[in-house]
Structures are given as C-alpha cells and as structure tokens.
Amino acid sequence: DTAVSQTPKYLVTQMGNDKSIKCEQNLGHDTMYWYKQDSKKFLKIMFSYNNKELIINETVPNRFSPKSPDKAHLNLHINSLELGDSAVYFCASSPAGGRQETQYFGPGTRLLVL
Amino acid sequence: AQTVTQSQPEMSVQEAETVTLSCTYDTSESNYYLFWYKQPPSRQMILVIRQEAYKQQNATENRFSVNFQKAAKSFSLKISDSQLGDTAMYFCAFSNDYKLSFGAGTTVTVRA
C-alpha cells in the first residue's frame, strides 16, 4: 500500500495551459504539504494544510491554488503555466504538523512546461 | 527564517568505507528538530535520521549516525560501511511547525 501517492508522475504541457496534480495519503494524517524541487534540486515549501485549512503559503504566485477537499487529499492546480514552473512537485504528510514529526513524501510529479 | 547550509555539493566514497556530510544551520530557537533525508535516483524522499535539539546524545540508525554540535549549530551525518545502495542525494533539513527548510543537498556516490 502506498502511503502518499501522487498523480500523475509525469506531466508535459505547453506554456499557458492549466494543469492539476493530485495527492492522497492513507496514513490518517491531519497535515499535508506541497514542496517544489527546482532544476538544481533545491527543495522549498510551497503550502501547508492542517485539517483542510491553509497554514502556510510561502509567497507562491497566485497562479498556484491548492485545494484540500478532505484531510486525506491535497491537490495543486496551476493556471497559466510558465517555463519556470518546470520542476518536481512533492506532496508530503505528517500527523499534525508539529516540528518533531517526520514528514512522509510522495513519489513526486515531474512537470515539464514547453 | 532558518537557513541550512550544506557546503559539499558532491562526495565520493569507496564501498565499505566511511563518509561524513556536513550541515550547518542558523536559528534563534532553542528547541527544534533536525533531519537528514535521502533522495536516491528513484526520486523518492526517504527519512534517514532525526535529532532533537534538547537531546545531548547523538542519534544513530544502523550505519547512519550524526554528530550534533548545538553551540556550533552543526549537524553532520556519518555513513559507515558504505553500500552501493547509499548512492543518493542527501538533504539536511531544519524542522519548524508545518514546514521543513532544506539545505542544497550533497550528492554521494559509492564506488564499487
């Protein structure tokens, strides 16, 4: 059983398009995250949600809109895709968001914008 | 904001030998947690080890151990008896509530 899953694993699209990435966790966690890993492999937090409520929005352009329909799901919708959005996007989850908790990561979604 | 610095972009080690990865961080907080994550070529992020700042004892997990120097704000990772499967990128991370702040990563290559 996959603990944190993401779909799709790969996404190739044209500039200007809108796309979504889905994330699901079956760990019973309350907190979910989106991280972006750029071409230099640098990882940075984008959003954190706790119990479906937005906790952290780390100065991400408003073309990115996360949505959490329930505690087990956190989707990422991206409007008007730009070349600079090309990256690997990781979803993660943890029990309640506390700093002592291990975050469990999904397999990542590689997005390529042409 | 916390900053995490990994000063070694790449390291190479012979199978069965030991390699140490360095990590320093900057924070004004007194209680915090530090993590090492591993990212093999499969891209999956895997927890290696974690350390609580209040604990004097260095964390160990099998062949992985840390040298945590709180005053120096240093958190190095030692991989003993390196195996081919240890080839990966290793990220040091500082944990706040609701987010991890990562270093730039160190690529470790284990040579047969």
Closest CA to A3 of B93, B96, B44, B86: B44
Whether chain B has a CB inside 8 Å of the CB on A66: the answer is no
Q: What is the mean pLDDT of residues B36-45?
A: 95
Closest CA to B28 of B65, B68, B1: B1
With contact defined as beta carbons under 8 Å apart, do A31 and A48 qualify? yes
Comparing CB atoms, the residue among B50, B99, B105 nearest residue A41 is B105
Closest CA to A70 of A16, A35, A30: A30
Asked whether residue B50 carries a pLDDT value surpassing 90, the answer given is yes
pLDDT (0 to 100) of residue A50: 92
Determine what percent of chain B is predicted with pLDDT higher than 90.
Answer: 88
Mean pLDDT of chain B: 95
Nearest-by-CA chain B residue for A88: B43
- Which pLDDT band holds residue B55 (cuts at 50, 70, 90)? confident
- Mutation for testing the A interface, residue in B100, B101, B102, B108 having most A CBs under 10 Å: B100
pLDDT (0 to 100) of residue B22: 98
List, in order, residues 6 or more apart from B37 with CB less than 8 Å away. A105, B45, B46, B47, B48, B90, B91, B93, B102
pLDDT (0 to 100) of residue B8: 97
pLDDT (0 to 100) of residue A1: 64
Task: Spell out the per-residue pLDDT of chain A, length 114, in tens.
Answer: 679 999 999 999 999 999 999 999 999 999 999 999 999 999 999 999 999 899 999 878 999 999 999 999 999 999 999 999 999 999 999 999 888 899 999 999 999 999
Q: Which residue in the block uniquely carries the two structure tokens 């240890």?
A: B86
Q: Which residue in the block uniquely carries the two structure tokens 């907190």?
A: A31
Give start and end residues of each alpha helix (H) in chain A: none
Nearest-by-CA chain B residue for A6: B44
State the Cα angle at B107 between B104 and B108, rounded to 5°.
Answer: 145
What one-character DSSP code corresponds to residue B86?
Answer: G
With contact defined as beta carbons under 8 Å apart, do A86 and A112 qualify? yes
- Which pLDDT band holds residue B31 (cuts at 50, 70, 90)? confident
Are A41 and B96 a contacting pair at CB < 8 A? Answer: no
Nearest-by-CA chain A residue for B3: A44
Whether chain B has a CB inside 8 Å of the CB on A95: the answer is no
Are B104 and A40 a contacting pair at CB < 8 A? Answer: yes
State the Cα angle at B47 between B9 and B6, rounded to 5°.
Answer: 20
pLDDT (0 to 100) of residue B1: 66
With contact defined as beta carbons under 8 Å apart, do A48 and A114 qualify? no
CB neighbours of residue B23 within 10 Å: 26
The tens digit of pLDDT for each residue in A74-105 reads 999 999 999 999 999 999 999 998 888 999 99
pLDDT (0 to 100) of residue B30: 83
Q: How many CB pairs under 8 A join A and B?
A: 58
Q: Which residue in the block uniquely carries the two structure tokens 């889905």?
A: A22
Tokens of A76: 């990422």
